[in-house]
Structure 1
Amino acid sequence: MIYCKPCTDPVSPHDGQRILIGSVLQQDLCSDVLAIDMQLEALAPSNELIQWMAQHADQPEAFRRSYIQQLSTQPEHWLILLDYVRNGNLTLLCGSSSQLFYLEILAGFLEDELENWQEASSPVCYADLNRLN
């Protein structure tokens, strides 16, 4: 299960791995206080994409497509998150509740990728290989 919440929300026993996506603006908050297991700034939308969204708030679907395209080019940053989801819960954290919208996009992307990876490793995918033996 993937949860999305601001990093200042209370820790829950159901959180599993707590991953901060992006950065926290409050410099006085440290990872110990926030109970963050890992920080992945590279998975946050690019500054250009955030600026574009601020100017085109009426086009959330275009933002979603662009963000997913950005994520698609960075599997080295999100593949580990699939392992966390396979083995338990994952909580994606952001600096403020106004950033939850992109965590929800990331969570959907990860769920789709997890489904794709599970389908790729199914016995049906290897049926032709079994006939060769």
Structure 2
Amino acid sequence: MIICKRVFTDKTGNNGYRVLVDRIWPRGIRKQDIRYDEWNKNVAPSNDLRKWFHKYPANFEQFKRLYFAELENNPDSWQHLLLKTKSNCLVLLFSSKDEDHNNAVVLKSFLENKLNKV
């Protein structure tokens, strides 16, 4: 199972393997104030894509397509996460205010697609 949680509302969760999937550390949170097992900057969107989406948030579907393409070209960043889902719940932590349109939601969809093909 894969779930997404906003890091600002879930600082001390104890469920599953917890991965921060943002390229930049969330503002206003000290590293010792949240529980995470991994900070995977490499699975986050590239800086260019991240900045583009921040500027044009209404283009979520295009962001999703572009991010999927980046992920396809960088399997080393996410393949080990698929293994975590076999033995544990995978929790994708993100900092975006928009809980429905962010990189963690797209990553979750991408990983679930990969799991369904296995």
| Smaller-chain TM-score bracket | 0.7 to 0.9
- What per-residue deviation string (whole Å, max 9, x for no partner) do you get for residues 54-100 of structure 1? 33333211111000000111111101100111112010011343476
Question: CA, structure 1 residues 25+12, in 2 after alignment: closer, same or farther (shift >3 Å)?
Answer: closer
Tell me how far 1:107 sits from its aligned partner.
0.2
Q: Is the 8 A contact 1:5 1:97 kept in 2?
A: no
State the match for 2:4 in structure 1. 4
Structure 1: gaps (5+ residues): 119-133
State the match for 2:108 in structure 1. 107
Amino acid at match of 2:59: Q
Tell me how far 1:44 sits from its aligned partner.
1.1
What's the TM-score, normalizing by structure 2? 0.85
State the match for 2:20 in structure 1. 20
Q: Is the 8 A contact 1:6 1:94 kept in 2?
A: yes
Give the root-mean-square deviation of aligned CA atoms: 1.9
Number of aligned residues: 115
| Higher Rg | 1
* Greater percentage in helix: 1
Question: CA, structure 1 residues 69+88, in 2 after alignment: closer, same or farther (shift >3 Å)?
Answer: same
Amino acid at match of 2:56: H
Structure 2: distance between partners of 1:56 and 1:97:
15
Question: CA, structure 1 residues 97+65, in 2 after alignment: closer, same or farther (shift >3 Å)?
Answer: same
